Structure 1
Amino acid sequence: MAIIGECFCGQVQYRIDGTLRDARSCHCSRCRKAFSSQASAYALVDPADFSWLSGEELLTSYASEQGFGLQFCKLCGSTLCGIYNDEVHGVTLGCLNGDPDVELGRHIYVGSKASWEVIATGVPQYIEDAE
């Protein structure tokens, strides 16, 4: 079954014809800023399984010198996916519709989490990344 995602205004939509993997929540200061939240909620996807359904022309990108970055809707600002060398490699879980049949498997960079955040127990936590 396909997984569908969209931005807040609904103008940008995508489809994943495959499964999500390695779902994680990152608590580093960069993810907090990029996602305007206490952490990111993100899962990897096979680029061959990912396709834009509508609004691709409304995307804007930010990428680091190393090639890692994010794509956003120009209209509403939703962070939709992560890119590496201009290719989608993961999606933000908050923009998915329905049940994507994935659970967060780890919390990473909890050593730099916001002082006001309390992370629920039950999922492994790593001071940095587990990889």
Structure 2
Amino acid sequence: MSDITGECFCGSIRYQVKGGLHDARSCHCSRCRKAFSAQASAYAVVRAHEFSWVTGEQLLTSYVGEHGFGLQFCSKCGSTLTGVFKDQVHGVTLGCVNGDPKVSISRHIFVGSKAAWELIPEGVVQFDEMPPV
């Protein structure tokens, strides 16, 4: 498997994943809509030990909430790059991945609180909240 790479909009921050992306999902909750400035997030999980910053790590800005979950984004262009949990990279935003990440969004979560203006196509796997584990 070849490395997966990604970068922010301005190209100042770049990363690589030596391994695959997992559990790709799209979250439609109001917090993800605000964090991603979109109708939903597009996010995939990584193994922390397979993730590394290539350039620009010093330009990262983080927001971490009270439960230890947060996001890292470029302080120059604002691109949301990664999700973090307890100070470790947990996943990447699919919009910043270069090329084909060899993963597909397998589920749409928190569609019970999606934006009123969003239409989700029939036939996609949906959960009103978080799916059962």
TM-score of the alignment, normalized to the shorter chain, above 0.5: yes
The reply to whether residue 126 of structure 1 matches residue 116 of structure 2 is: no
How far apart are the structure 2 equivalents of 1:86 and 1:57? 15
Q: How much has 1:120 moved relative to structure 2? A: 1.9
- Aligned-pair Cα RMSD in Å: 0.6
| Alignment: residue pair count | 131
Query: Corresponding residue for 1:49?
Result: 50
Do the aligned residues in 2 keep the contact of 1:13 with 1:52 (CA within 8 Å)?
yes
Runs of 4+ in 1 over 3 A off after TM superposition: none
How far apart are the structure 2 equivalents of 1:118 and 1:15? 33
Query: Corresponding residue for 1:11?
Result: 12
Identity %: 65
Gaps of 5+ in 1: none
Normalising by structure 2, report the TM-score: 0.97
Q: How much has 1:46 moved relative to structure 2? A: 0.1
How far apart are the structure 2 equivalents of 1:68 and 1:121? 31
Structure 1 segment 50-89 matched on structure 2, within 5 A: 50-89=51-90
Q: How much has 1:86 moved relative to structure 2? A: 1.0
Do the aligned residues in 2 keep the contact of 1:111 with 1:126 (CA within 8 Å)?
yes
Do the aligned residues in 2 keep the contact of 1:105 with 1:124 (CA within 8 Å)?
yes
Gaps of 5+ in 2: none
Normalising by structure 1, report the TM-score: 0.98
The reply to whether residue 97 of structure 1 matches residue 98 of structure 2 is: yes
Do the aligned residues in 2 keep the contact of 1:104 with 1:123 (CA within 8 Å)?
no
Do the aligned residues in 2 keep the contact of 1:27 with 1:40 (CA within 8 Å)?
yes
How far apart are the structure 2 equivalents of 1:16 and 1:64? 25
